[in-house]
């Protein structure tokens, strides 16, 4: 199949490590989607095939939806066949940007939404292992988790996991075996940074990658209730054994505090100028003759709080795609 016969390519989002991520419109169904492609049969292509199969076996309203598996794809200008998959385009922004300055009630609701989908992954024997701002988009329908490119089975052995420095758990950074507690750590870091603009531990480019003692959350955000601060601080404990036993226990504690995923999922489709696909295509279409601003799509800026430099990748992980 020729790529251009099925998809209208709108923009290349990223090209790295032998893979390309493309924003496109499905000509057959008329919907926006994100394509992940690599040379068929190569290491990157095999990795994408596995990621697509993993995603296709899962179904949760807070997990990005698989749109199609792609095999034997021809593209103009490419000598090699391509393979990969397509996911639905998500109408949202990285979590920290979307909820910067939001009421605490909305932040707790987003936490419940993220825990819901992570619980689903763990229940299906999968660790995400790259939960971070770029992979948790928040928009009109709430939170959507992206990117299973770093995912591993829950019984993964030592040295086989990766993540993003700052969000990855200490045991992952040290090359030890990951567990459900590793994902809980990343969730805790994500919301600590959302609330404070700081990572809870110092990250270093030389020597030990992480500092040992986490900053006290309420020292930076005294308006956060004690019970919620204690829960997040338990999630980012240095030793996995000091973190909550599993995601379900955290969700239970949130429920006791009156927090749950109450936001509507699967809202009725919007049409006309308010339709997300309409807005996307308008932004990406070439300017009309006679003037008008040229359309482009930019990556949202990083969260602007203190210590907000972009975390760097650690071994075994893939960049945002």
What does the DSSP assignment read for 171-199? HHHTT----HHHHHHHHHHHHHHHHHSS-
pTM of the model: 0.80
Which pLDDT score is estimated for 237? 95
Angle between helices 247-256 and 226-235 (to 10 degrees): 180
Q: What are the two backbone dihedrals, phi and then psi, of residue 68, each rounded to the nearest 5 degrees? A: -165, 145
End-to-end CA distance of the chain: 23
Residue 291's Cα: distance from chain center in Å? 37
Count Cα atoms within 13 angstroms, Cβ side, for 308: 16
Q: What is the CATH number of domain 3-88?
A: 3.30.200.20
- Could you tell me the CA-to-CA distances from 41 to 73, 74, 148 in Å, in that order? 12, 14, 19
Cα separation, 117 vs 191, in Å, equals 16
The helix/strand/coil state of 142 is strand
Q: What are the two backbone dihedrals, phi and then psi, of residue 249, each rounded to the nearest 5 degrees? A: -65, -35
What does the DSSP assignment read for 62-82? TBPPEEEEEEEEB-TT-SS-E
Which pLDDT score is estimated for 95? 96
Residues 6+ apart with CB under 8 A from 6: 26, 27, 28
Q: For the chain, what is the radius of gyration of the CA atoms?
A: 20
Per-domain residue ranges of the chain: 3-88, 93-256
Three-class SS string for 198-220?
CCCCCECCCCCCECCCCCCHHHH
Which pLDDT score is estimated for 277? 52
Q: What is the largest CA-CA distance in the chain?
A: 65
Which pLDDT score is estimated for 1? 86
The tens place of each residue's pLDDT in the chain, 321 residues long, gives 899 999 999 999 988 888 999 999 999 999 999 999 999 999 999 999 999 999 999 999 999 999 999 999 999 888 889 999 999 999 999 999 999 989 999 999 999 999 999 999 999 999 999 999 999 999 999 999 999 999 999 988 887 777 888 999 999 988 999 999 999 999 999 999 999 999 998 776 544 555 578 889 999 999 999 999 999 999 999 999 999 999 999 999 999 888 876 554 443 333 334 455 545 555 554 444 444 433 322 333 344 443 444 455 554 443 333
Alpha helices, H only, the chain: 3-6, 43-56, 95-98, 104-123, 170-173, 180-196, 217-220, 226-235, 247-256, 276-284
CATH superfamily of 93-256: Transferase(Phosphotransferase) domain 1 (1.10.510.10)
């Amino acid at each position: 199949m020729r790529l251009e016969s099925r998809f209208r390519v709108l923009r290349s989002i990223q090209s790295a490590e032998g893979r390309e991520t493309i924003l496109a419109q499905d000509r057959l169904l008329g919907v926006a989607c994100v394509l992940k492609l690599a040379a068929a049969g190569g290491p990157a292509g095999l990795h994408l095939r596995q990621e697509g199969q993993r995603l296709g076996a899962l179904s949760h309203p807070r997990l990005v939806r698989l749109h199609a598996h792609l095999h034997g794809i021809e593209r103009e200008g490419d000598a090699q066949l391509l393979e990969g998959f397509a996911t639905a385009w998500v109408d949202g922004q990285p979590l920290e940007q979307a909820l910067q300055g939001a009421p605490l009630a909305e932040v707790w609701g987003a936490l419940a939404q993220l825990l819901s989908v992570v619980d689903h992954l763990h229940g299906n024997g999968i660790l995400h292992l790259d939960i971070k701002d770029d992979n948790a988009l928040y928009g009109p329908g709430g939170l959507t988790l992206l990117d299973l490119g770093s995912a591993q089975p829950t019984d993964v052995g030592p040295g086989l996991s990766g993540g993003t420095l700052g969000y990855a758990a200490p045991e992952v950074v040290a090359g030890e075996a990951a567990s459900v507690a590793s994902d809980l750590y990343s969730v805790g870091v994500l919301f600590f940074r959302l609330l404070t603009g700081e990572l809870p531990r110092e990250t270093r480019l030389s020597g030990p990658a992480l500092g040992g003692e986490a900053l006290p959350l309420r020292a930076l955000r005294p308006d956060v209730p004690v019970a919620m601060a204690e829960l997040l601080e338990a999630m980012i404990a240095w030793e996995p054994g000091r973190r909550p036993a599993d995601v379900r226990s955290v969700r239970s504690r949130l429920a006791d505090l009156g927090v749950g995923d109450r936001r509507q999922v699967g809202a009725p489709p919007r049409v006309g100028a308010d339709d997300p696909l309409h807005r996307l295509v308008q932004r990406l279409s070439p300017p009309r003759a006679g003037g008008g601003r040229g359309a482009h799509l930019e990556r949202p800026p990083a969260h602007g709080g203190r210590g907000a430099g972009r975390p760097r990748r650690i071994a075994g992980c893939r960049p945002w795609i």
